[in-house]
Structure 1
Amino acid sequence: GSKMIDAVYNLVSKYPKKVTICHSAKEVNQAIKDGKLALILVAEGPLVFQGKVDLLRNWRRLGIQIVNLSHGEGAEGFTKDAQVVYKHLLPLAPTSAWQISTSSVGFMTHTKRNQLYKKEKGLSPIGKQMLKEMEKLGMICDLSHASDAAFWETLENTRVKVCATHSNCASLCGHTRNLTDDMMKALAKRNGVMGALLL
């Protein structure tokens, strides 16, 4: 968490002519013009905020621009990925996770995915509160790793800026980490962007 942010700032101070931390699209464009590597700070999961709005605000002050809605964990449980990434934070999941249901993980047909989606619960009360705060702070919610129910509830019931930084096309590769055509269209309607990954 904060040690990683400190390490990034130390790196930037060591190589100021080569790399910079950016807080806006304008700063990214300027970094590119200056021939610098543009860094955008991201928190890949919300458990580090422990369900506390003041911690979210303080991380924003440190330069965090984007927060993943989930890394697979939900208030009801967590994926194997989340177990590896969040060992020390998992006890916080029942009260601090931003989605209720755990994200489905694996390859499956569109029909099977729809069946699971109908059983899922979306955003948790703390998730709704934190997304409202992110909207006020001008932060971006990354929907990669989110459950389908939380993905749709975020798009339909909040105005927070959205993206999916590392998700692929589910119609080409039927893994639950990937977005369906409807999801991609909905993301685009909200001016959200999507980044591909090797999966």
Structure 2
Amino acid sequence: MTDPVQSHARRLHFDSLVFDAHADTIAIDVVEGRRHLDETGRGGHVDLQRLAAGGVGVQIFSLYVPPTVPTPHNALRALTILDALAAEVQRSPDRIVWIRRAQDLEEARRSRKLGVIASLEGCEVLAGSLAVLRTLYRLGVRAAGLTWNVRNEVADGVGEPRAAGLTAFGKEVVAEMDRLGMVVDVSHLSEAGFWEVMEIGRHPVIASHSNARAICDHVRNLTDDQIRALARKGGVMGINFFPGFLRKEGPATLDDVVRHIEHVVELVGPDHVGLGSDFDGISRVPQGLEDPSHLPALTEALVRRGYDDLAIRKILGENFARVFTAVLGASAAPLAPPQG
């Protein structure tokens, strides 16, 4: 017998924009030549087949460079990852759209192709230079996490014992990202740095893959005060699927992901939470959300908990789409070629 709730949830899911704000597939696997996005059965979490099976319409891929890579080699590594992403787009032009402008996001919706966004994960690669930031923007990067867990020239990460905020250069980076039309990402950033971004940033910001500390007391998760501030800024946080950020003990499940979503909704409403799986950057996954193909089960869980269709559409992707449409649409005039 057909389950009407399940049938409705499935129709709703595949009629919605599903936007995942963080995956490390390119930086971890593709750049190393282990597999391509158009190949399946080669391991990992994310490929085009599983993204399609999960109805994913937009995927942010990180340009993650481990802190063990020294300057200036980390900039070369970031460019190599960006080149690998460009090669994946070229391999599947009938299935992928690279999102650089707000119009590209609309094109991805209209064409039902996968929209991909390139994002820095840690600004070590800038080596203290706004020129590098502008160059990465020219090459298609449209978001940046200011830090990973450690300190860099921009700010301290959540794992830095001194827990300082933004440097003078970091404040320049935030201002320049605002001017260019790049989304600022505060996941991994120290709490002091978070509050400074809230104060000086002009546009909505995101926490691409961070959870609620009230549900799981981990330094990588946001406090209720931070979540409220992010919401006041018009921003969005993407719920991370890493079990260690979902619960303190025991195996994590899809229900734990829902618990974090529900906490944010109860705190600030349904306009400021989304998905930030961290697929291919995490060693363990929650039961029931083993890869993107299982995402329809999340929609079903939200339907069964009484969320209406509009709220579910926002959580699945419209919230992140709103931020990127606004910030990319606020882009400065085209950059002139470098002088000298």
Both structures adopt the same fold (TM-score exceeding 0.5): yes
- Residue 121 of structure 1: how far off its partner (Å): 2.2
| 1:27 has 2:104 as partner | yes
| 1:130 has 2:166 as partner | no
The sequence identity of aligned pairs, in percent, is 35
Tell me which of 158, 177, 183 is aligned to 1:103: 158
Partner of 2:97, secondary structure, is: strand
Aligned to 2:85: 8
**Distance change >3 Å, CA 161–CA 52, structure 1 → 2:** farther
Q: Whose RCO is larger (CA < 8 A, sep 6+)?
A: 2
* Structure 2 runs not aligned, ≥5 long: 1-77, 243-340
After TM superposition, where is structure 1 displaced by more than 3 Å over at least 4 residues in a row?
none
TM-score, length-normalised on structure 2? 0.46
| 1:165 has 2:208 as partner | yes
Could you report, residue by residue, the CA deviation over 1:30-51 in whole angstroms, capped at 9, with x for unpaired residues? 2122121110110101011111
The answer on whether the counterparts of 2:150 and 2:159 sit within 8 Å (CA) in structure 1 is no
How many residue pairs get aligned? The number is 165
Could you report, residue by residue, the CA deviation over 1:17-60 in whole angstroms, capped at 9, with x for unpaired residues? 10110123442232122121110110101011111011000000
Which of structures 1 and 2 has the bigger CA Rg? 2
Q: Distance in 2 between matches of 1:124 and 1:8?
A: 30
* Structure 1 runs not aligned, ≥5 long: 75-92, 106-115
Partner amino acid for 2:172? Q
- Residue 102 of structure 1: how far off its partner (Å): 4.4
TM-score, length-normalised on structure 1? 0.77
- Residue 160 of structure 1: how far off its partner (Å): 4.6
Q: Distance in 2 between matches of 1:120 and 1:165?
A: 20
Q: Distance in 1 between matches of 2:122 and 2:159?
A: 16
Q: Does 137-146 or 27-36 show the bigger shift?
A: 27-36
Aligned to 1:175: 218
Q: Give the CA RMSD over aligned residues.
A: 1.7
